[in-house]
Amino acid sequence: MTSALSVTAVAQAAPPPQASRVLDQLTSENSVVLMLDFQPMFVFSTRSIEVEALVNNAAGLIKAARVFKVPTIITTVTAPSFAGPLLYQLQAAAPDITPIDRTVINAWSDSRVADAVRATKRKKIIMAGLWTDNCVMLPALSALAEGYEVYFVTDASGDYDKASHERAIQRLVQAGAVPITWLPVMLEWQTDWARTATAGAVSEILKEHAPAIGIGAQYQKAQKQ
């Protein structure tokens, strides 16, 4: 039997429970997307995720944001002098968006980026980028400090190696950010397949960027014919 003394000692040694935050669902009305530094120089040395998967997931996220009319801000860093232009797959997904190019590593320190987010009047920022441990990490911490809710898309972000990516995730979670992957973001925006205004476009994105799900939908449709 555990003595009262030992129970008291364990209770005193345990860290106090943290107050839980209730985070409501992502919607097309409360979200803003911030895509950071998807450029050749950073892709060349990204090893925490296969490049094909990274580009596929990032492009799928941008396309989903366009379908749901979620404000999308895209940045590059030192594009002309070092890192190169935005990847063409992402530019093709949002041909009307001109990336904000900067020199500072923390995109939030560039007033054009931070002000673009603030102007949306939305408090849920969905972030993805290269690399996770700096170009995603730093603006995420800055946005959290300013009172935003940050959702960072782990499978549309990458880093020099898996250790850097994983430590960045750990630090972001400890700071209060929420890890998520791109597909659940799109499905949260969709909410209900009865929303026919977007359901067809979502199905097309699934076919192209999540083919296993798209094939299943194709099979189900064929069975009903």
Candidate list 70, 87, 135, 143, residue with the active-site label: 135
Q: Based on the residue annotation, tell me whether 135 is a catalytic residue of this protein.
A: yes
Torsion 195-196-198-203 (CA) sign: positive
* Nearest partner of 134 among 31, 34, 36, 33, judged by Cα: 36
Q: Among candidates 189, 183, 78, which has minimal Cα distance to 130?
A: 78
Residue 147 · residue 59 · CB < 8 Å: no
Angle of helix 196-209 versus helix 211-224 axis, rounded to 10: 120
Instruction: Indicate which residues carry an active-site annotation.
Output: 135
